[in-house]
Amino acid sequence: MAKRIDVSGLTAYYGSHKAIEDISMTVEPRSVTAFIGPSGCGKSTFLRTLNRMHEVTSGGRVEGKVLLDDEDLYGTGIDPVSVRREVGMVFQRPNPFPTMSIFDNVAAGLRLNGNYKKSELADIVERSLKGANLWNEVKDRLNKPGSGLSGGQQQRLCIARAIAVEPNVLLMDEPCSALDPISTLAIEDLIGELKERFTIVIVTHNMQQAARVSDRTAFFNLAAVGQPGKLIEIDDTERIFSNPSVQATEDYISGRFG
Amino acid sequence: MGTPTQITDAPPPAPQPAVDKRAVRGATRPGDRIFLGLSRGSGILLLVIMAAIAVFLTYRASLAISKDQGNFLTTFQWDTNLVPPNFGIAVLAFGTVVSSIVAMVIAVPVAVAIALFLTHYAPRRLRGPIAYVIDLLAAVPSIVYGLWGALVLVPHMNGLFGWLNDYLGWTGIFSWEGGAPRSMLTVGILLAIMILPIITNVSREVFRQVPQMHEEAALALGATRWEVIRMAVIPFGRSGVISASMLGLGRALGETMAVATVLSPTFDIQASLLDPGGGTFAQNIASKFGEATEFGRDALIASGLVLFVITLLVNGAARAIIARRKEYSGANA
């Protein structure tokens, strides 16, 4: 199911403000790619262009190409809704639907996509919750509201909800920044398991986290406030953290700025 | 004060005074005390006024009901000048509830649709003007609605009534014998227009409060705009819409002039919504109060007490519905 992402010459705007400029990169299937960089450098914006969520923001528009295997997500006649069914997303703050039970939260995406028999639905929900390492904690209270879980559990519920529809790609926008270290560890372990099945892209402010979970790391930066963010370099994580080819990357990683 | 403080010279710490309860409650400063007094006084005053109304209504009502020859709840008659008097609220209760139900059935879906349109579909530059027009609807006095209803709405109802009779007449509630369309359906439609603004405005406010992150969660799962509304917006706003509807229902139940102007009142119950006749509490009080004797007024007050109780029951039911869904409401997210 996992697909390759191939981005070329991508520029994104908020109204007349250019947020990111001319980004090109390739993300291999069944790998974890981390985006790092200072605040405001456009890494979250870039992430949101990969499932066409950027254009939901008022004034948001995109130029350039994003190929998912061979299909251009911004091609003519492509429905953003169907793109988002293929490219799942997990947000910074856990956002389970507060009005739905745990079960219904996981089933939400499936119910959008078509008719499932009750037993099929129950199977997929169980598999997804197991996939998100949450099953044992919630199996006795599937009918309780998702908002009653702890922050870390809620985030794993959101991951279960995202993987239930079997997306090709899973985008994560700082998924651990609102969580305590134990919950963070649980999510990081989970990412390691999920990459067997999905292409994963994760934005993080935590460089140790990038080093721990990712195969490839992309460093974004901006020349000055108000300037568009740019991709400085993307390379194997090991190399980025030991011997990056650009000085700015080394400065950022070693804490000399940012 | 030129010398540095010497710890050894410090006096032994004074024994800690027992914690003053007033201090804990923050009422020691004059400003706090005045505000506490004012707010507590306002709260008590509210309860006193409510109790006084209830006592007044109950006392005057009991004077009338004790002399009532018929059964106050089931009699289809309002003759307070007879000796002995014979009156009951059956017709009024039926008319009040039916006209309000008709109004709610029409107004709530339309109001929710307008609120969703304004918050999620309308282009930004249209939102202000449309919201303004709806606010204007709320500012029209109810007697003006009544006159409009009697002079414009009633003469134009024949077509709708005929159509309903042709296609839905077999149900009984939409049959029509051809009388003037001063019936419960016309009253309900008029009430629906009157309660539309309040329900729309409160619902719009509620839908605007839906956190962005819930809508994005639905979008990211591949929901269309309508599916986002169904998954995230409406469930989040449900309790707010119920509250909004109750505000509207309260107005519909108590509406007086508009009903009195449009309805041709009789003291019997029409099975069909289309046949003229019936009455409501407020309309009956308004039409009879001026010429009523002392005893007649007591009887009208007794009917007012029933309206008061119905309103309380409706509000209680709404609160119960909201409370039952509390666990799932967006409030704890």
How far, in Å, CA of B222 to CA of B242, rounded?
A: 29
Average pLDDT score over residue span A181-200: 91
Task: Report the percentage of chain B scoring pLDDT > 90.
Answer: 53
Residue from B236, B239, B328 to probe the interface with A (highest A Cβ count within 10 Å): B328
Q: Which residue has the higher pLDDT, B322 or A158?
A: A158
Longest CA–CA separation in chain A, Å: 56
Q: Which two tokens stand for residue B308?
A: 């008061």
CB contact under 8 A, A98 and B214: yes
For the segment B278-327, what is each residue's pLDDT rounded down to a tens digit? 899 999 999 999 888 999 999 999 999 999 999 989 888 888 887 776 65
Distance set, CA A53 to CA A83, A177, B132 (Å): 10, 20, 32
Phi, psi (rounded to 5 degrees) for A29? -65, 155
Helix (H, G, I), strand (E, B) or coil at A46: helix
Q: What is the DSSP string of A62-80?
A: EEEEEEETTEETTSTT--H
**pLDDT beyond 70 at B20:** no
Q: Do B221 and A93 lie within an 8 Å CB cutoff?
A: no
pLDDT in tens, B182-196: 999 999 999 999 999
pLDDT for position A212: 93
3-state percent breakdown (helix, strand, coil) of chain B, nearest 5:
70, 0, 25
pLDDT value at residue B2: 43
Q: Do A95 and B329 touch (CB under 8 A)?
A: no
> Nearest CA to CA, how far is B120 from chain A (Å)?
12
Pinpoint the alpha helices (H) of B149-293.
158-168, 184-208, 212-220, 225-228, 234-254, 257-262, 281-289
Query: Residue B271 gets which letter from DSSP?
Result: S
Question: Does A141 fall in a domain?
Answer: yes
Mean pLDDT of B57-82: 88
| Residues of chain A with a CB closer than 8 angstroms to some CB in chain B | 51, 53, 56, 81-86, 88-89, 91, 93, 95-101, 108-109, 112-113, 144-145, 147-148, 158, 161-162, 165
| pLDDT tens by residue, A14-67 | 999 999 999 999 999 999 999 999 988 999 999 999 999 999 888 899 999 999
Burial (Cβ within 10 Å: 0-12, 13-18, ≥19) of residue A58: exposed
Does residue A257 belong to any structural domain of this protein?
A: no
**Identity of the residue in A83, A91, A112 whose CB atom sits nearest the CB atom of B223:** A112
Residues B255, B282 contacting (CB under 8 angstroms): yes
* Contact criterion met (CB < 8 Å) for B333 and A93: no
Q: Give CA A155 to chain center in angstroms.
A: 12
Nearest to A156, CA basis, from A120, A121, A105:
A105
pLDDT digits (tens, 9 = 90+) for A87-144: 999 999 999 998 899 999 999 999 987 788 899 999 999 999 998 989 999 999 999 9
Residue A99 to residue B238, Cβ atoms within 8 A: yes
* pLDDT at residue B25, rounded to an integer: 57
Q: Which pLDDT belongs to residue B3?
A: 44
Kindly report the number of other CB atoms within 10 A of residue B315's CB atom.
15
Is B78-332 assigned to CATH 1.10.3720.10?
yes
Nearest-by-CA chain A residue for B213: A95
Check pLDDT > 70 for residue A170: yes
Is the Cβ pair B221, A56 closer than 8 Å?
no
Average pLDDT, chain A: 91
What CA–CA distance (Å, rounded) separates B227 from B223? 5
E strand or H helix that includes residue A19: strand A17-27
The domain tally of chain A equals: 1
CB contact under 8 A, B221 and A145: no
- Rounded to two decimals, what is the model's pTM? 0.82
A258: in domain: no
Closest by Cα among A218, A228, A204, A226 to A248: A218
B158/chain A closest Cα distance in angstroms: 44
Which CATH number goes with the domain that contains A202?
3.40.50.300
End-to-end alpha carbon distance in chain B: 55
The CA distance from A20 to the nearest CA of chain B, in Å, is 21
B217 and B308 Cβ atoms separated by less than 8 Å: no
DSSP line for A86-99: HEEEE-SS----TT
State how far the Cα of A155 lies from the Cα of A146, in Å rounded to an integer.
10
- Who's near B196: CB < 8 A, 6+ residues apart? B107, B110, B111, B114, B134, B137, B248
Contact B222 A91 (CB under 8 A): no
8 Å CB contact of A98 and B236: yes
ipTM: 0.89
Q: Tell me the C-alpha distance between B294 and A103, whole Å.
A: 64
Domain ranges across chain B? 26-65, 78-332
Q: Do B231 and A108 touch (CB under 8 A)?
A: yes
- Indicate whether B63 pLDDT > 60: yes
Q: Please tell me the distance in Å from A248's CA to the nearest CA on chain B.
A: 33
> Contact at 8 Å (CB) between A40 and A52?
no
Distances (CA, A) of B67 to A104, B9, B63, B307: 59, 87, 7, 20
Domain ranges, residue A139: 3-252
Question: How would you classify the pairing of strands A71-72 and A87-90?
Answer: unpaired
- pLDDT, residue A225, reads 83
- Return all residues near A16 (Cβ < 8 A) that are at least 6 apart: none
Q: How close, in Å, is residue B48 to chain A by CA atoms?
A: 39
| Distance between CA atoms of residues B88 and B91, nearest Å | 8
Q: Could you tell me which of A165, A172, A100, A94 has the C-alpha nearest to residue A128?
A: A165
Q: Is residue A28 part of a domain?
A: yes
Distance CA B33, CA B10 (A): 35
Chosen from A83, A95, A163 to mutate, greatest number of chain B CBs within 10 A? A95
Q: Reply yes or no on whether the pLDDT at B218 is more than 50.
A: yes
Note whether residue A148 is domain-resident: yes
Output the average pLDDT for chain B. Answer: 87
pLDDT of residue B15: 57
DSSP code, position A200? E
- As a whole number, mean pLDDT of residues B55-65 equals 92
Distance CA B132, CA B264 (A): 34
Contact state of A165 with B222 under an 8 Å Cβ cutoff? yes
Tell me how far apart the 2 most distant CA atoms of chain B are, in Å: 104
pLDDT of residue B5: 42
B148, pLDDT greater than 80: yes
